[in-house]
Amino acid sequence: MVIECIGLSGSGKTELLELIEKELKRREVDYVNVSANLRRGIVWKFLRVIAGALIFLSADARWLRDRLRGILEQEETAGGHGTNDSGKGVIRSLAVYSFWYRRMIRSHRIFLFDEGMVHTLMMFCADQKISEEAFRKMVMASERGVRSARLVISVEASSAERDDHADEYERLRLAYGRDFRVLEIRGEDENRKQLSR
């Protein structure tokens, strides 16, 4: 199973995953905090580079890359943003996440991400002002084969934490939440502290 948190910078994604991690440890559940390992572990960083280099040996990753490129090219034709260097980097990241997730959801372990696939896609679309239609197409493509055994936790920022991306991010978060399993947590909610139960 994969658990990933989405939210603006400073909304508490990392803190929330640390609470979940403590509870999983207390219950002796086998888990891996992927985001923490990528930040701290040299071996994990090396594996990420290797995965990025070899990712397109996977037919699924190649399909996702080509599909996302096509969506962004259609967006450019319609007067929006196309596949610039930033877009190519995001496409690669999403393909790597998709490759990992497909394997992780088959495992008996729980894998934790505080900036996973959904977060990467949403922040990119908010930053680039991608239309809702193109965003939804990108979501559907990215979700193919990884929807099962995955929980997305949306951490809503307080008004003090909102930044220039907040309104765009909120629009896209709601669009994502209409079609997929998303647990919403507000920063001040007691539920946030009790989530692990």
Q: What is the pLDDT of residue 113?
A: 92
Q: What is the pLDDT of residue 53?
A: 76
Q: What is the pLDDT of residue 24?
A: 92
151 forms bridges with which residues in the sheet?
3
pLDDT block averages, 10 residues each, the chain of length 197: 86 85 92 88 80 80 91 76 68 88 89 90 86 89 85 74 72 80 69 52
Q: How far is CA 146 from CA 59, 83, 118, 140, 184, in A?
A: 15, 24, 11, 10, 20
159 burial (CB, 10 Å; 0-12 / 13-18 / 19+) is exposed
Say if CB 9 and CB 182 are below 8 A apart. Answer: no
- Residue 172's CB: how many other CB atoms inside 10 A? 24
Q: What is the pLDDT of residue 92?
A: 86
Cα–chain-centroid distance for residue 164?
A: 20
Q: What is the pLDDT of residue 81?
A: 53
Q: What is the pLDDT of residue 80?
A: 56
